[in-house]
């Protein structure tokens, strides 16, 4: 974990003081609503349907047990006893009072946390692989680079008022678990043939109204030039990104309008001035950041712990949990465990005060006092001994965090939706709940295998519906809540945007629609094929024909014509 | 007299901003006193304008410092308009003028300027602020020092924190 020194602490403390003054002036009528809005947003405070919503950053998903206890304390003291983990490794309070926010920030600052730039038209929280540093398929640990980017992006004076929000994600593993291709800037940390670290830079990915996959504009960037290059990209965007229409203001629109080649050339031209300037990283700074992300005191273990293997034999339920929720670790005898925040019937990503306190205990007992948050809205204990997995499973069951559904259909990614969010067209939580209830039978769920289902309550796509194998988007149709289905989306290195299959459905139809989609999959599935592989093989038409049976409007063309 | 902030002090200053007419015509420049002409007017009339030391150039957000280039170093005053405080293009203009084109004169922010952007503006090279008339200028000046420690390289402190910590 990165630990603040007096400089980091001073910056966060000065932010608390600044925000306290801004809140005071707003409440005193010295700042208008229009003036206060961008200022509070840059501090993660939205005014929502029922109350303000405060979004707190969890930089690249890393937390200590002490920080989790503080999150729990704030939820009890200033909120309704629970928090919501988001798809961007942030955590949200849904019910704070506006006048209490400065005090909440002061408390967060006391455990080296903040809400800086968690919203607004600025550089947001940098996100990464939840298994960074421990993944068996990792090439380079992205965390030191994430921290370097976090510091560079925090109160960057030139990029505080960009045309639109700006999101950066970093991946250093073979599999991309950080969805870098759908970020404004996606960075892959890699090694060249000589074993030296460098970066691939993608720009212009994003979801929202106009989903796009990022374009590679820099196939190899030496590490010392990371920040000057990012400065160049951001400067080109800050100067030339559209500001006349907020729906066309993301960098992806600029990149597309200029063409990726011309955009890359413009960046190179700007970078020529900045390259090797003062912002060039020093060896010492690179080393300093790496010192915070060294391996914890692992024991030397053989792996294939006998008690662990025996427990798998003895308990089918434990075995199933291990299959779904335990991830291979690079150190023998250790595993990374995903605690599912997708218990059926509970809003995806929510955790209560009691659960947070209990999970902090688990982190202390089983995983060196640290936790991770995934963009899949689950919590991770990254360094658990195999010999302790059974004990951890028992404890996780007790607090409702042991649903063995990671990667399965009910491990839904879901935004807060119309129950809370004032932007939403439709509720997302009741749809998630209906799907979880419909597919509540664990054996069946397990047999279905990996299916990413993503639900967004509106086109802002906080639930990343475009990259779900099955994406669900809330839409407004004559003031009623309807849901549009996309199929074929996927994240990772071969990220693709899903395609809409046809007219939308009413909320009460959604569980049946899901059943029909799954039925088509099961009927056409070969061996243990994943949903997405079956979909790629048979295409969208069989799905369309099934879900729109008796509804000519949405059926595949050839069937309608026939 | 209007009051503005210069180098963290509140001083009196009236300096008109001359805008290009709707028909594209350039307004007459007063014979004396500090005045800001638009970048297009400056480029068209610089022979006569540069002769006097009290003509400044003002930039709209879409104006490009590259057009002025190293000539910026010879000017005593440049101003940048912020039609809305959320339009951050002027931040880049400030840094480019200071860091790339050697401008060392007074760099003035005007328009939607108040306490909450002064710290960022100062770090982008601005040292003069025409605070909006309906805002408390005495309170606004304190905003310059909302933060006293910074991670990044910027005007005034070109060394990023990692080269100093």
pLDDT digits (tens, 9 = 90+) for A196-214: 999 999 999 998 888 899 9
pLDDT of A65 reads 98
pLDDT of A137 reads 96
Distance from CA of A225 to the nearest CA of B (A): 14
A276 pLDDT above the threshold of 90: yes
A562 pLDDT above the threshold of 70: no
Q: A413-561: same fold as A6-109?
A: no
The residue of B152, B157, B159, B165 whose CB has the most chain A CBs within 10 angstroms, and thus the best one to mutate to test that interface, is B152
A43–chain B Cβ distance below 8 A for any pair: no
The residue ranges of every structural domain in chain A are: 6-109, 142-291, 306-398, 413-561
> What b/e sequence results for A268-302 when a residue is b if at least 16 CB atoms lie within 10 Å of its CB, and e otherwise?
eebbeebbebbbbbeeebbebbeeebeeeeeeeee
The residue ranges of every structural domain in chain B are: 3-163
Q: Looking at domain A6-109, does it have CATH number 3.90.480.20?
A: yes
Q: Tell me whether residues B158 and A278 touch, CB distance under 8 A.
A: yes
Q: Tell me whether residues A161 and B91 touch, CB distance under 8 A.
A: yes
pLDDT of A442 reads 85
Question: B81 and B90 in contact (C-beta within 8 Å)?
Answer: yes
Residues 6+ apart with CB under 8 A from A389: A308, A311, A322, A326, A335, A337
Residues B47-92: tens digit of each pLDDT: 999 888 889 999 999 999 999 999 999 999 999 999 999 999 999 9
For residues B32 and A20, the model is more confident at A20
> Per CB distance under 8 Å, which residues of B are interface residues toward A?
85-89, 91-92, 95, 100, 114, 116-117, 119-121, 123-124, 136, 146-154, 158-163, 165
Residues A441-494: tens digit of each pLDDT: 888 999 999 999 999 999 989 899 999 999 999 999 888 899 999 999 999 888
A286–chain B Cβ distance below 8 A for any pair: no
- Quote the CA–CA distance of B20 and A23 in Å, as a whole number: 39
pLDDT of A512 reads 96
Distance from CA of A282 to the nearest CA of B (A): 8
A561 pLDDT above the threshold of 50: no
A310 pLDDT above the threshold of 50: yes
B17 phi and psi, to 5 degrees? Answer: -100, 115
Closest CA to A457 of A486, A498, A428: A428
Q: Which residues of A touch B116 (CB under 8 A)?
A: 22, 31, 35, 39
Average pLDDT, chain A: 95
Task: Choose the closest CB to B149 out of A7, A156, A282.
Answer: A7
Q: Tell me whether residues A238 and B92 touch, CB distance under 8 A.
A: yes
Task: Choose the closest CB to A7 out of B95, B158, B165.
Answer: B165
Least confident stretch, A420-434, B64-78, B106-120: A420-434
Token pair for B124? 């982008």
Share of chain B residues as helix, strand and coil, in percent rounded to the nearest 5 = 35, 20, 45
The mean pLDDT of B138-165, rounded to a whole number, is: 97
The mean pLDDT of A270-294, rounded to a whole number, is: 98
pLDDT of A553 reads 66
Distance from CA of B48 to the nearest CA of A (A): 31
Q: Which residue of B has its CA nearest to A150?
A: B151
A225–chain B Cβ distance below 8 A for any pair: no
Closest CA to A544 of A535, A532, A556: A556
Token pair for B71? 């000539």
Task: Choose the closest CB to A157 out of B89, B91, B163.
Answer: B91
A540 pLDDT above the threshold of 70: yes
A279–chain B Cβ distance below 8 A for any pair: yes
DSSP secondary structure code for residue B11 in this structure: E
pLDDT of A344 reads 86
A151–chain B Cβ distance below 8 A for any pair: yes
pLDDT of A559 reads 45
Report how many Cβ contacts below 8 Å link chain A to chain B: 98
Task: Report residue A120's pLDDT band, with 50, 70 and 90 as the boundaries.
Answer: very high
Q: Tell me whether residues B86 and A38 touch, CB distance under 8 A.
A: yes
Our CA angle for A110, A114, A118, nearest 5°, is 170
Q: Tell me whether residues B117 and A156 touch, CB distance under 8 A.
A: no
Distance from CA of A71 to the nearest CA of B (A): 26
A46 pLDDT above the threshold of 50: yes
CATH domain B3-163 topology: Rossmann fold (3.40.50)
Token pair for A247? 């729906």
Q: Tell me whether residues B87 and A158 touch, CB distance under 8 A.
A: no
Region of A206 on the Ramachandran plot (φ > 0 left; ψ -120 to 50 alpha; else beta): left
Residues A51-102: tens digit of each pLDDT: 789 999 999 999 999 999 999 999 999 999 999 999 899 999 999 999 999 9
Which residues share a beta bridge with A206? A212
CATH number of A142-291: 3.30.413.10
Q: Tell me whether residues A35 and B116 touch, CB distance under 8 A.
A: yes
Q: Tell me whether residues B159 and A277 touch, CB distance under 8 A.
A: no
CATH domain A413-561 topology: Sulfite Reductase Hemoprotein; domain 1 (3.30.413)
A162 pLDDT above the threshold of 90: yes
Distance from CA of A94 to the nearest CA of B (A): 26
The mean pLDDT of B28-37, rounded to a whole number, is: 94
Question: A141 and B66 in contact (C-beta within 8 Å)?
Answer: no
pLDDT of A103 reads 98
Least confident stretch, A378-392, A408-422, A522-536: A408-422
A285–chain B Cβ distance below 8 A for any pair: yes
Judged by DSSP in three states, A472 sits in: strand
Distance from CA of A114 to the nearest CA of B (A): 15
Question: A206 and A174 in contact (C-beta within 8 Å)?
Answer: no
The CA radius of gyration of chain A, in Å to the nearest whole number, is 23
A48 pLDDT above the threshold of 80: no
CATH number of A306-398: 3.90.480.20
């Amino acid at each position: 974990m990165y630990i603040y020194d007096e400089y980091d602490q001073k910056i966060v403390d000065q932010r608390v003081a600044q925000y306290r003054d801004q809140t005071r002036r707003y409440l005193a009528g010295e700042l208008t609503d229009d003036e206060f809005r961008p200022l509070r947003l840059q501090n993660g405070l939205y005014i929502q349907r029922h109350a303000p919503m405060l979004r707190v950053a969890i930089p690249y998903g890393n937390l200590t047990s002490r920080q989790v206890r503080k999150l729990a304390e704030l939820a009890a003291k200033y909120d309704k006893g629970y928090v919501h983990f988001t798809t961007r490794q942030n955590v949200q309070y849904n019910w704070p009072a506006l006048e209490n926010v400065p005090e909440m920030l002061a408390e967060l600052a006391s455990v080296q946390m903040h809400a800086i730039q968690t919203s607004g038209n600025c550089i947001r929280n940098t996100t990464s692989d939840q298994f960074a540093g421990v993944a068996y398929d990792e090439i380079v640990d992205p965390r030191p680079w994430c921290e370097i980017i976090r510091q560079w992006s925090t109160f960057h004076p030139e990029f505080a008022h960009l045309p639109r929000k700006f999101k950066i994600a970093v991946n250093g593993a073979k599999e991309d678990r950080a969805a870098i291709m759908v970020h404004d800037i996606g960075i892959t940390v890699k090694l060249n043939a000589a074993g030296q670290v460098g970066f691939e830079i993608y720009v212009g990915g994003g979801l929202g109204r106009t989903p796009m996959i990022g374009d590679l504009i820099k196939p190899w960037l030496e590490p010392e030039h990371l920040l000057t290059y990012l400065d160049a990209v951001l400067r080109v965007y800050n100067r030339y990104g559209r500001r006349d229409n907020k729906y066309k203001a993301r960098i992806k629109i600029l990149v597309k309008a200029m063409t990726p080649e011309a955009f890359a050339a413009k960046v190179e031209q700007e970078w020529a001035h900045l390259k090797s300037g003062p912002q060039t990283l020093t060896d010492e700074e690179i080393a300093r950041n790496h010192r915070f992300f060294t391996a914890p005191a692992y024991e030397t273990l053989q792996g294939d712990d006998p008690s662990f293997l025996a427990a798998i034999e003895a308990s089918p339920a434990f075995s199933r949990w291990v299959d779904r929720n335990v991830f291979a670790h690079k150190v023998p005898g250790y595993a990374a465990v995903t605690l599912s925040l997708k218990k059926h019937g509970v809003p995806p990503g929510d955790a209560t005060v009691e659960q947070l306190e209990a999970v902090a205990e688990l982190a202390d007992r089983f995983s060196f006092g640290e936790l991770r948050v995934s963009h899949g809205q689950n919590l991770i204990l990254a360094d658990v001994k195999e010999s302790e997995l059974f004990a951890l499973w028992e404890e996780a069951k007790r607090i409702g965090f042991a649903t063995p559904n990671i990667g399965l259909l009910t491990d839904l990614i879901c935004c807060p939706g119309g129950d809370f969010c004032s932007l939403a067209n439709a509720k997302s939580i009741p749809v998630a709940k209906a799907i979880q209830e419909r597919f509540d039978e664990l054996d069946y769920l397990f047999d279905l295998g990996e299916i990413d289902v993503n639900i967004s309550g509106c086109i802002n796509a906080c639930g990343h519906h475009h990259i779900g194998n099955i994406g669900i988007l809330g839409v407004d149709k004559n003031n009623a809540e309807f849901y549009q289905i996309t199929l074929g989306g996927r994240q990772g290195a071969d990220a693709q945007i899903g395609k809409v299959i046809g007219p939308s459905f009413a909320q009460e139809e959604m569980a049946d629609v899901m059943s029909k989609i799954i039925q088509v999959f099961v009927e056409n599935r070969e061996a243990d094929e994943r949903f997405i592989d079956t979909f790629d093989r048979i295409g969208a038409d069989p799905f369309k024909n099934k879900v729109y049976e008796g509804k000519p409007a949405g059926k595949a063309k050839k069937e309608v014509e026939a | 007299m209007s009051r503005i902030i210069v180098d963290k002090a509140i001083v009196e200053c009236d300096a008109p901003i001359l805008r290009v007419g709707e028909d594209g015509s350039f307004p007459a420049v007063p014979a004396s006193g500090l005045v800001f002409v638009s970048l297009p007017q400056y480029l068209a009339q610089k022979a006569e304008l540069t002769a006097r030391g009290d003509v400044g150039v003002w930039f709209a957000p879409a104006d490009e410092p590259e057009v002025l280039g190293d000539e910026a170093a010879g000017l005593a005053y440049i101003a940048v308009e912020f039609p809305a405080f959320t339009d951050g293009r002027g931040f880049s203009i400030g840094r480019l003028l200071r860091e790339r084109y050697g401008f060392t004169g007074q760099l003035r922010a005007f328009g939607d300027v108040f306490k909450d952007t002064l710290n960022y503006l100062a770090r982008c090279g601005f040292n003069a602020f025409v605070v909006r008339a309906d805002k408390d200028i005495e309170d606004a000046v304190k905003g310059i020092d909302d933060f006293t420690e910074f991670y990044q390289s910027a005007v005034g402190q070109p060394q990023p924190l990692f080269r100093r910590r």
